[in-house]
Amino acid sequence: MSDRAPDLPQRRINVSLSDRSYDVVVGSGVLKGGGAFDALPRGERAVIVTNDIVGPLFGEMAERALRARFSRISTITIPDGEPNKNWQTLNRIFDGLIDAQCDRETTLVALGGGVVGDLTGFAAASYMRGVSYVQVPTTLLAQVDSSVGGKTAINHPAAKNMIGAFHQPSLVVADADTLRTLPERELICGLAEVIKYGAALDTAFLGWIDAHLTELLARDGDALTHAVVRSCEIKAEVVAADERESGHRELLNFGHTFAHAIELGTGYGTWLHGEAVGCGMLMAVEASRLLGLIDAQRADRISELIVRAGLPSRAPHLGIGRYLELMRLDKKARGGEVRLVLLTGPAGATVQRVDDQLVAAVVSKFQA
């Protein structure tokens, strides 16, 4: 693969949800090439919600593209980072919408990473009891995961993503060119979610990731676009089958129960979400191995790939009791018992309750 891929044709992945179906548009240059927002009805007003890092990079480009569909476009800028995914920042969005006298016909446009997307989606779900919104993710993690599926939330001091709503976007526009400005740490975080899809749901895709990891780390355009497209295809299939995460969609949380404990236990923003997911997947692989659900070969293959991607392999020392306390706050927990997404057999995954002794054994192995 070349170091710089030419602009690729747009790929459209449909998220099939009856009258709430929408497309995910993926490709290099889709923002500047025009037509990315053609699926939207013409409207009076769009409000871009972005942060103080992404706005200067892509705000004007997004506004130019949106002018084909909207006659009035304004911007609300919020602070960057996971520590700002809270009520205060959400209210800044509401303040901006109210000050501008935005009505129910307003479309919000989330331009940024997962924090911007989650906050904008939650604001759209809540403002005037619901307005439409569009996701324009600019990080790899957001393009392959958080922008698709309609999960919106803010963090509570006691639990991650505990307050939110399911509210599907009208459209997702993922421009691979925006990844060229992504810091290395953020790129690696996105690879954690890409690996998650392969490990839990598509062993052929896992093999492709393994074979093309060097290209992905080097930001090869063809490789990144394929990774985004295949990840979105997998997520679209899962969301169409289980929109409200009552069963099969829980498999998308592979590694996340440990990860959310790490993020909360160390303080939001100390570990980036993808870093915590990478370490959490290693811990979930070990739990699967200890339970005899997978053999050593599968465990080693996935663990080695996670480490090769540059993700952390040691968990922070929070203490076993603190891990258990935080993991019981996970949304998959039932009756105070921890439930984990675990790998099974040569290619599968499942969700099941695990006892405290197993969690303790895994945490003891991985704590730094």
* Residues noted as catalytic: 129, 151, 193, 235, 245, 249, 253, 256, 260, 273
Q: Across the chain, how many H-helices and E-strands are there?
A: 12, 11
Q: List the structure tokens of 315.
A: 């968990």
β-pairing, 348-353 vs 339-344, is antiparallel
Question: DSSP 3-state assignment of 159?
Answer: strand
Taking CB atoms within 8 Å and a gap of at least 24, the contacts of 294-302 are 294/343, 294/344, 294/345, 298/343, 298/346, 299/343, 301/210, 302/195, 302/199, 302/206, 302/343
d(Cα 126, Cα 120) in Å, to the nearest integer? 10
Ordered DSSP codes for 25-68: EEETTTTTSS-TTTTSPPEEEEEEEEETTHHHHHHHHHHHHHTT
Q: How far is CA 133 from CA 19, 105, 106, in A?
A: 15, 10, 8
CB count, 10 Å around CB of 169?
Answer: 29
**Element containing residue 22 per DSSP (H, E):** strand 22-27
d(Cα 95, Cα 72) in Å, to the nearest integer? 18
d(Cα 191, Cα 7) in Å, to the nearest integer? 22
